[in-house]
Amino acid sequence: MKKILTIVATAMLMMAVPQITHAATVGTVTANPSLNLRQSAVTSATILASIPKSTQVTILSKNASNWYNVTYNGKTGWVSGSYLSVKTIATTTTAVPQAAVPAPAATNKTVGTVTANPSLNLRQSAVASATVLASIPKNTQVTILSKNASNWYNVTYNGKTGWVSGSYLSVSAIPVSRSGSGSSDLVNHALSLQGIPYVYGGTSRSGFDCSGYTQYVFKGSGISLPRTTFEQFRVGSSVNKAQLQPGDLVFFTTYATGASHVGIYIGGGSFVHASSSGVIISSLGSSYYSSRYLGARRVR
């Protein structure tokens, strides 16, 4: 009887746990007898492996020359789309209930309030003659990233990152919450990589793709993430958008159905990510990303 009750209780628990359906883009090899997995998207590139006909591989991205960045047998490389049958499949995973966690610790974030009337120019570099990226209205609060010796501040505003003169900025520290002592270090590490170019399949300072970037940043904090965006969307615990904390992973549906782009939330409604323009800061509130927002995960 005890064994029967245990089985029934386990079944009821499984029924109570929500199921999450994701979409993944996969390709089936049509080349006979096999298709070469290459280090880069050219036929002269080094062969990493031979993928047998009818084998299914996970697709990470596609370039303009009809080459696909895929994973096969633990390796990531490129295959010609001429020998790949591509489709989207649905997969279901069980959401793991989030254990109770202690209340977030308090820390400080440095912000600046514009004092210039009617507005302050956000410039591309820290000189008065630099290109104007935006005009920031008086009394607007911006997030400060750094300050140089000439009293210019590197700030983020409305999804843009640039420089403003400290002569027209009232600087202060405000309390924010974070989930642990490592969150600040992780975000600082992520921000330090701004400007590194985008590279398909990139996982190093020579160039990143979006999931290669997040994997690299988290590895620096001793946290192991899977290689692909789709796989990263399955780790950790789900976070409501209104409860985002710095260091959370944010996901978007872009070139493919499901989780196909990922970044790291840094606070203030902004996130840092490896976009086609390289590692940059963008706003969750921008028309592009707000319409493609899929969800967030906390893995710390």
Q: DSSP labels for 137-162?
A: ETT-EEEEEEE-TTSEEEEEETTEEE
In CATH, which of 2.30.30.40, 3.30.230.70, 1.10.760.10, 3.90.550.10 is domain 105-177? 2.30.30.40
Query: What digits encode the pLDDT tens for the residues 3-32?
Result: 554 544 555 544 544 454 444 577 899 999
* Cβ density class 74-99: b for 16+ within 10 Å, e for less: eebbbbbbebbeeeeeeeeeeeeeee
pLDDT of residue 261: 96
- Beta-ladder partners of 119: 137
Query: What digits encode the pLDDT tens for the residues 97-111?
Result: 444 444 444 455 677
| Cα–Cα nearest to 295, from 9, 15, 20 | 20
Q: What is the mean pLDDT of residues 218-243?
A: 94
| Cα–Cα nearest to 195, from 282, 283, 281 | 281
* Phi, then psi, of 219 in degrees rounded to 5: -60, -35
> Is 210 a residue of the active site?
yes
For the chain, where are the alpha helices, taking DSSP H only? 2-16, 182-192, 210-219, 229-232, 287-292
Q: What is the mean pLDDT of residues 157-175?
A: 78
- Active-site position among 38, 273, 297, 298: 273
Are the CB atoms for 69 and 76 separated by under 8 Å? yes
Of 85-89, 214-218, 248-252, the least confident: 85-89
Which tokens sit at 238? Answer: 């789900």
- Active-site position among 123, 160, 261, 298: 261
> Is 189 a residue of the active site?
no
> Is 22 a residue of the active site?
no
Q: At a CB cut-off of 8 Å and minimum separation 6, what does 204 contact?
A: 212, 216
Domains 105-177 and 179-298 belong to one CATH topology: no
pLDDT of residue 96: 42
Which tokens sit at 46? Answer: 């080094």
Q: Which residue has tokens 């009821």?
A: 12
Query: Between 89 and 284, whose confidence is greater?
Result: 284
Are the CB atoms for 293 and 254 separated by under 8 Å? no
Average pLDDT, rounded, for the chain: 80
Q: Residues 19-94: name the CATH superfamily.
A: SH3 Domains (2.30.30.40)
Are the CB atoms for 274 and 160 separated by under 8 Å? no
Radius of gyration of the chain (CA): 22
| Cα–Cα nearest to 69, from 23, 38, 43 | 38
In CATH, which of 3.40.50.2000, 3.30.1700.10, 3.40.50.1100, 3.90.1720.10 is domain 179-298? 3.90.1720.10
pLDDT of residue 284: 92
pLDDT of residue 112: 80
Taking the domains of the chain in order of start, what are their residue ranges? Answer: 19-94, 105-177, 179-298
Are the CB atoms for 136 and 120 separated by under 8 Å? yes
Are the CB atoms for 65 and 6 separated by under 8 Å? no
- How many CA atoms are closer than 13 Å to the CA of 282, on its beta-carbon side? 23
| Cα–Cα nearest to 168, from 199, 197, 139 | 139
- Active-site position among 24, 29, 196, 210: 210
pTM (predicted TM-score): 0.46
